[in-house]
Amino acid sequence: MKRQIITFCIGDIYLGADVMAIREIRAWSATTPIPHSPDYLCGVVNLRGTVVPVLDLSQRLGFGRTEPSERHVIIVIEIGNELHGMIVDAVNDIATIDDDDLQTQPDLGEAADNKMVEGVITIEDRMVIILTLDRLTASKNSELPQAA
C-alpha cells in the first residue's frame, strides 16, 4: 500500500512520519516548562487557545538534548484526539512510499527501545527512519500533559 510521509531531520539524521498525523508546521517559539515532566518534554505552547506539550524529539530518541533556536521548527501532530509538538531542525519534503519497501529495524537487543521506529526506508539514497508517532508520546514513568 502506498502512503505519504513528511520527512524532516535532526542533525544529519533523516526521519519520517505519516503526513495524515501532521496538523501544522510552525516556527520555533519558546515553551513554558512544566515541573516534574519527563526530560524529553520541553514544555508547553499555546496554539490558538490550546495548550500543546512540545517534545524534544532528539532527546526522546536518545540523540541528545536540542538547544532550540530560531532555525528550529515545531511539527504539530495529532495522536488520537491529542495535539503534541515535536522540535526538529528542519522539514524537508513529502514523499510517497510503498509499505512493501519499508524494512523493519534490526533487532538491537533488549536495551534498545525499538517501539518508536516503524521501520527504515531509502528515499533518494538517504536512509529515513519512519517513526511510530503514538509511541513517541508514551512514557514509561509518567504521562505527558494532555492538550486541553
Domains of the chain, residue spans: 2-136
Percent of the chain with pLDDT over 90: 75
Alpha helices in the chain (DSSP H): 57-60, 133-136
Q: Does position 31 have pLDDT exceeding 50, yes or no?
A: yes
How many helices and strands, by DSSP H and E, does the chain display? 2, 10
Q: Which residue has the higher pLDDT, 129 or 135?
A: 129
Please say if the pLDDT value at position 42 is more than 80: yes
Mean pLDDT value of segment 69-90: 94
Average pLDDT over residues 3-19: 96
What is the predicted pLDDT for the residue at 128?
96
As a CATH number, domain 2-136 is: 2.40.50.180
Residue 26: what residue type?
A: R
